[in-house]
Amino acid sequence: VGIVFIRHGMQRLFGFPFGGMDHHFLTLNGLAGPLAFAGGLLMILGLFTRPVAFMLSGMMAVAYFAGPFRESRNFWTLLNDGEAAVFYCFAYLFMSAAGGGAWSLDRLLRRTPLHFASAEWAPYLLSVLRMVAGFLYIQHGTEKLFAFPGGRMDHNFSTLHGFAGLLELPGGLLMMLGLFTRPVSFILSGQMAIAYWLRWAPRGFWRSLIVGEASIYFCFVYLLMAAVGGGPWSLDRLFSRNRKREEPLLSAKELVGSSEL
């Protein structure tokens, strides 16, 4: 997340890699440059992860409502170009509770979580992130299969683009419901990895971070859920309780790390 996010800051501050420099720091777009660059760098390092993630989540919420939503007045992120802002908002909200994980400077320095983002919320925010990711993802499937909410219908299922619709619609729906979360997430993560390497990676590293951004963040968020499940607010959890067999969901202590609780 930090690697794909820092590119937005580099573009606004330095015009790298493909222009778009904006030094009007009194505007929302200009101010986003230093915040995205510094925040992305700290997220890569895993330093001050919780407060930085909390700040970036709020920034992306403001950016979405002040930008894509206000300009288009359209609810569907596929049409208002607000998908990335929504995804980053909820991904960072989850990280504000869960922290930066085992491979982070916070863990190395044994930093303790801040009280405003209690680690006890991490499993629940994981469920919220899963539902949001599913909602964003399902739109790509409905676009290809039904041209809804817009875009180009593609029923050529022998191609990578056309076949993707058959995975995105049911896969996104199952992710929203939290049903068969681990196997579905594993399949969707692999699908996004294939889409990135076959379609976007040949365009070069920096350009692929722009045009293939969605493939990257969907790939890794689904890889996360393939490992940890869909959280407590899921049908997987509900059905496991009805069968009197708890699904092996991670607790806050396991998800965040006992040294950070």
- pLDDT tens digits, one per residue of 157-190: 999 899 999 999 999 999 999 999 999 999 999 9
Looking at 99-198, list the stretches that DSSP marks H as alpha helix, in order from N- to C-terminal side.
105-109, 122-146, 160-177, 181-195
Query: Does 223 fall in a domain?
Result: yes
Query: Does 34 fall in a domain?
Result: no
pLDDT of residue 86: 97
**Inter-CA distances, 190 with 184, 217, 221, 254, Å:** 10, 12, 11, 25
Query: Does 208 fall in a domain?
Result: yes
Query: Does 231 fall in a domain?
Result: yes
Query: Does 49 fall in a domain?
Result: no
**Structural domain of 158:** 82-103+116-260
Number of domains in the chain: 1
pLDDT of residue 114: 47
pLDDT of residue 257: 61
Query: Does 2 fall in a domain?
Result: no
Query: Does 132 fall in a domain?
Result: yes
Query: Does 47 fall in a domain?
Result: no
Confidence of residue 241 (pLDDT cuts 50, 70, 90): confident
* Contact between residue 121 and residue 231 where contact means Cβ atoms under 8 Å apart: no
pLDDT of residue 255: 67
The predicted-structure confidence for 145-161, as pLDDT tens digits, reads as follows 999 998 889 999 999 89
The predicted-structure confidence for 24-54, as pLDDT tens digits, reads as follows 998 988 999 999 999 999 999 999 999 999 9
